[in-house]
Amino acid sequence: MSELIVGAELTEAFASDGVVCVRQVLNASELADAVAAIDAVLADPGPLAQVTSGPDDPGAFTEDFCRWQQIPAIERLARYSRVPAIAAALLGTEQVRFYHDHVLVKEGGTRQRTPWHQDQPYYNVDGPGVSAWIPVDPVPAGGCLEIVAGTHRGPWLIPRTFLLREAKWFPEGSLAEIPDIEADRDAYDIRRFDLEPGDAIFFDFLSVHGAPGYPFSGRRRVLSLRYLSAAARHAPRAWRTSPPFDGLDAELPAGSVMDHSLFPLVWPGRAREARRRHLKELAAGALPDLSDPEIMRPAWRSS
């Protein structure tokens, strides 16, 4: 795989549309890690796991959240793949924190749509963030995540539960409703892609997005990695957010930087810091510590 260049074209497209597709973000071994991670999540669901499709659905839509502390492969991808570097470039921020992971699997034949929504109104943060939606199976455009370009500029729209459409977060009437996009799709600039395993769609926490069911024979296994810009701030809510971070409000004051072990700083990564240190040592005439694996680990190259 070639050197990653997050050029102006990509960052400008993200600033203007709130969504970009980046091909081959994961290399072969990272992809294998992502497959193993998703399979581990499905084999041993966590306390936040849920099936977001009805019992009569011929397939199933399964989700799980916040598993990186139990599944090392997720932490490795979140920290050391190229994803945090791309997130930093797209957000135009010097520092990036990992917010959480989200596994979203649609079995072949699933009818359940992922309703149109924005992510940020479900969260406990104000300020910018980006998600990387990374399938580990080939996903045809007809089964792909869809994003309405330009909606990242807001406004915030009311979050509802996916199945029963309940307003469990912001109270009814306090935010505008999501428009009926399905009734008039041509009126919206909807982006979707034919994806290969390891490609990624990066989209802003405020971008309106949804997904069709999965009317194909294979599965659609996705790992979504979510990142916070340095400008993101803790926004405790009067309700349980999705995902919830129980007890956090007592530890992190409202309006503070998301400086907590739940949200590790992942960019600049250890690899970049280690290389800086190494260059400094070389400049000072000192012998570099070549036993430090991070020095040898390429941050911007995947192989």
Ligand X SMILES: O=C(O)CCC(=O)C(=O)O
Positions in the binding site for ligand X (CB under 6 A): 102, 104, 114, 119, 131, 133, 145, 209, 211, 222, 224
Q: How far apart are CA 178 and CA 123, in angstroms?
A: 17
Cβ 145 vs Cβ 191: under 8 Å? no
Q: Which is nearer to ligand X, 35 or 299 (CB)?
A: 35
Nearer to ligand X, 224 or 229 (CB): 224
DSSP state of 179: P
Locate tokens 């790992």: which residue? 223
174-181, Cβ contacts within 8 angstroms, sequence gap of 24 or more: 175/121, 178/115, 178/116, 178/117, 178/118, 178/208, 181/116, 181/148, 181/208, 181/210
Q: Which is nearer to ligand X, 3 or 180 (CB)?
A: 180
> How far is it, in rounded angstroms, from Cα 128 to Cα 209?
16
**CA 222 to CA 85: how far, in whole Å?**
20
Residues 6+ apart with CB under 8 A from 109: 58, 59, 214, 215, 216, 217
Q: How far apart are the first and last CA of the chain?
A: 7
Q: What minimum distance in Å lies between the beta carbon of 119 and ligand X? A: 5
Q: How far is the CB of 105 from ligand X (least distance, A)?
A: 9
Question: Minimum CB separation from ligand X for residue 102, in Å?
Answer: 6
Q: Compare residues 96 and 145 and give the one whose CB is closer to ligand X.
A: 145
- Whichever of 131 and 302 has its CB closer to ligand X, that residue is 131
Nearer to ligand X, 25 or 271 (CB): 25
Q: How far is the CB of 207 from ligand X (least distance, A)?
A: 9
CA distance 112 to 195: 20
Shortest separation between residue 145's beta carbon and ligand X, angstroms: 5
Q: How far is the CB of 175 from ligand X (least distance, A)?
A: 18
